[in-house]
Amino acid sequence: MGQQEENLEQDQDKTSAAAPSRSIWSGSITIGLVNVPVKLFSMIYDKGVSFHFLHKPDGQPLKYVKMCTKDDKIVPWNEVVRGYEVAKNEYITFEKAELDAVRPESDKRIRISKFVDYFSVDPIYFDRTYALLPDKSKDAYTLLLNALQKTNKAGACRITLRTKEYPALLHPYKGALVLTTLRYAYDVVDPRDFEKLGKLEIPQKAELDLAVKIVKDLSGEFDITEFKDSYMEKVQELVKQKAKGEKITVTQAPEVEVKGLMVALRETLKQLEKK
């Protein structure tokens, strides 16, 4: 909570998130025979607003338990196996060891296979971005960064994080190297496969000219700070008030009226029974 609060406070005057102090991975970028030692840091928060579920009468946090759907008994870890659903309600089971054997080896390398134009990679494939910082020496790191900046290129590479191998793009961002993991092609739908899209007609020239004019008139620079999370701002305001012990008045009562439904149910059941 302390950490979170600090981050929120900072957000008020600064638009970006706080930098973490601990790296999550260390290794090196390899290009042919050249090695650039680096550390990997998280740089994306999924902040939004999050709440913990508590038990109302005593205020204690709740925990999740695994329950068997057949007898509603709590299942201990040593009785859990992984099941791959091959048909509805039909599973092939695996032990953890069997899956570990085929997992990619945790390799401490970011292997660059080629350099590509950054804008040639559609953002639809972008998954998650990490900051890469120099480890030990800064020389090789600075050299690679400057070369990429000068050529406007990005390194197409692979990285193994935890136990999954990702395609990734290594590129400069605000004076540092960052790595963006990419989605595999099999995770992305080709919109042409939506039957609902159908065949699109080419518009009339006059109509198109008008539409193009509107687009041009409304063109401008993109600025992420123009977008505000108003729900988070309101919740933060409420948190502040509550922390000070102020009473919150709920302006809308989201009560559902179900009395009529309950009475109707009773009445109808009585009538149907008579028959």
97-105 own/partner pairs: CB under 8 Å, 24+ apart: 100/163, 103/163, 104/160, 104/163, 104/164, 104/165, 105/160
Candidates 28-36, 43-51, 105-113, 256-264 — which segment interacts with another protein by CB under 8 A? Answer: 256-264
Give the nearest distance from C-beta 35 to another protein in angstroms. Answer: 53
Q: How far apart are the first and last CA of the chain?
A: 62
Report the C-alpha dihedral over residues 244, 249, 253, 255, rounded to 10 degrees: 60
**Angle formed at CA 35 by CA 34 and CA 36, multiple of 5 degrees:** 125
3-state SS assignment for residue 39: strand
Total residues interacting with another protein, rule: CB under 8 A: 18
Binding window for another protein (CB under 8 A); candidates: 170-178, 187-195, 215-223, 253-261: 253-261
Residue 254 interacts with another protein (CB under 8 A)? yes
Residue 271 interacts with another protein (CB under 8 A): yes or no: yes
Q: How far is the CB of 266 from another protein (least distance, A)?
A: 7
Contact window for another protein (CB under 8 A) among 17-25, 50-58, 142-150, 260-268 = 260-268
By CB under 8 A, tell whether 2 contacts another protein: no
| Residue number, 101 or 258, with CB nearest to another protein | 258
Q: Which is nearer to another protein, 74 or 256 (CB)?
A: 256
Q: What tokens appear for 92 in the block?
A: 């092939």
Nearer to another protein (CB atom), residue 33 or residue 262: 262
Rounded CA separation 171/227 (Å): 25
Q: Which amino acid is at 25?
A: W
193 vs 255, beta carbon nearer another protein = 255
Opening angle at CA 54, ends 49 and 58, nearest 5:
145
Q: Does 272 bind another protein (CB under 8 A)?
A: yes
Closest distance to another protein from the beta carbon of 267 (Å): 7
Contacting residues toward another protein, per CB under 8 A = 254-262, 264-269, 271-272, 275
